[in-house]
Amino acid sequence: MQDSPRGSASAKLAEFLAQANQNIALAREQNIQFTPALLRENLNKLAAFMTCKPDVSYIADRAWQLGDRAIPARVYSPDPHSALPVVVHFHGGGHMCGSVELYDPICRQLASTAHCVVISVEYRLAPEHPYPAGLEDCEHALRHYAEVLEDVAFITGPCIMGDSAGGAICTSLSERSLAEPSLAIRKQILIYPSVDYTMTSASYESNGAGFLLETPRVKWYFEQYFQYTALDAEKVRAASPLHGRIEAGLPETLIFTAGCDPLRDEGRAYAEALQRVGVKVEHHGLEDMIHAYMLLHDLVAEECLSTYQRIARFIHAP
């Protein structure tokens, strides 16, 4: 295992992390157990740090009908009458938290800064809907993205984007596209992605406590998602994009990693693996940021805006 030094967080995050660590310690002291409701509520509290919500001229709630159920989505366009690139967006949250509503400020900022159409997908969440339910929803959304754009001009050939678990969804769909070229993905954008469900990267040890996302919580997320036992270790490995097919046919990739993140090393390893097989990769390591920094816009606005600007250049590059 490679040496994996512990990250050093930005002073901008010091007060936030002190409060978060105090809350984590208190919960541990009181033996408060993880539940889906508790973790969803805690993630939703980060909405308080995303008060920047740019106006976007077109925002509409849409859905794909799939048998007796719907897959909801929210569509954003800064100029619905001009043909713009499309980004299909999959939110993060450990495959069991997060929502289109929580990520609304991020999708507004993305549509505004990158001057693109954004389709934010409300996929099914674990543990109510374990693997691969959410992934299947996202594949359907990607294959049929144009169906929710009847009022919006767009350029054919979508990019996909996701943070954390959303990054896992992106990389899983990109891997599927190797065998199924009809799953056409122009580019993928990954923000502190989860790409290795085996949790064997050294940064789970070096960055696994004190930086908001802690190793025990990641493990619990994955247990809810896969509902696995020790006997399922090989299945979990097989579902991990880092251990899957990494070949030259994968989409051009933009990846951001955070230096104070337990997922840091697997994100770096994925970027390096793509580069080795000749996939065009642009990797940015924000060494003093933590996992989920994009949900903390008010605290680290400069870093967030820089991330959006890099995404904009990547989307519009030929």
Active-site residue numbers?
A: 164, 261, 291
Burial of 318 (0-12, 13-18, 19+ CB in 10 A): exposed
* For residue 2, pLDDT beyond 80: no
Confidence of residue 83 (pLDDT cuts 50, 70, 90): very high
Residue type for position 317: A
Nearest to 192 by CA among 268, 115, 95, 112: 268
Q: How far, in Å, CA of 114 to CA of 311, rounded?
A: 7
HEC sequence for 34-94: CCHHHHHHHHHHHHHHCCCCCCCCEEEEEEEEECCEEEEEEEEECCCCCCECEEEEECCCC
What's the pLDDT at 234?
84
The verdict on whether omega for the bond into residue 5 sits within 30 degrees of 0, i.e. cis, is: no
Rounded to two decimals, what is the model's pTM?
0.97
Lowest mean pLDDT among 46-50, 183-187, 228-232: 228-232
Sign for the pseudo-dihedral over CA of 286, 204, 16, 8? negative
Give the confidence band of 17 by pLDDT, cuts at 50, 70, 90: very high
Q: Give 1's pLDDT tier (boundaries 50, 70, 90).
A: very low
Give the residue, 157 or 230, on which the prediction is more confident: 157
Rounded to the nearest integer, the mean pLDDT of the chain is 96
C-alpha distances out from residue 67 to 20, 70, 71, 191, 281, Å: 42, 8, 10, 33, 38
The 10s digit of each residue's pLDDT in 301-312 is 999 999 999 999
Mean pLDDT of 12-33: 97
pLDDT per residue as tens digits for the range 254-266: 999 999 999 999 9
CA–CA dist 99, 101 (Å, integer): 5
Report whether pLDDT(168) > 70. yes
